Amino acid sequence: MVSVVVLGIGIASVLGLIGQATKAVSTARGVMIQTGLARLAMVEIENKYWQKKADDIDTSGDFGDDFPNYSFDVEIIEDVDEEVPALHEVNLTVYWDRGKYKRPYTLTTYLIDFSK
């Protein structure tokens, strides 16, 4: 009888650990997608900037039907430093909508227009 109780406690513990491991894997997958989307969006922003199409940069949006739980916002701060003309700070935040809350992930880069 005691061995059955001990076995039951062991099985219950293992099942709890499996649930936690599954949640951790799901979170890691979501974060990996989120960071990958942020890097992709930042490359697109940089490309538009260097092609002199800064007005075409989307300041918010989503990643389409392939990634329905992810969206982004872009903030561009112009002339960040008075000593360095045409230095722009670009803050890109990718949000992962996990149901109860949106998890933000922010990338920041600095771009300078050498033609000015």
> How far is the C-alpha of 106 from the C-alpha of 92, rounded, in Å?
5
Residue 16 is part of which domain span? 2-112
pLDDT one-digit tens code per residue, 48-106: 988 888 888 999 999 999 999 999 999 999 888 888 878 899 999 999 998 889 999 99
3-state secondary structure of 84: strand
Structural domain count of the chain: 1
Per-residue pLDDT band for 116 (boundaries 50, 70, 90) equals low
pLDDT (0 to 100) of residue 68:
93
pLDDT (0 to 100) of residue 50:
86
Per-residue pLDDT band for 27 (boundaries 50, 70, 90) equals confident
Of residues 89 and 3, more confidently modeled? 89
pLDDT (0 to 100) of residue 92:
97
User: Would you say the pTM of this structure is higher than 0.85?
Assistant: no
In degrees and rounded to multiples of 5, residue 13 shows phi and psi of: -65, -45
> How far is the C-alpha of 107 from the C-alpha of 77, rounded, in Å?
14
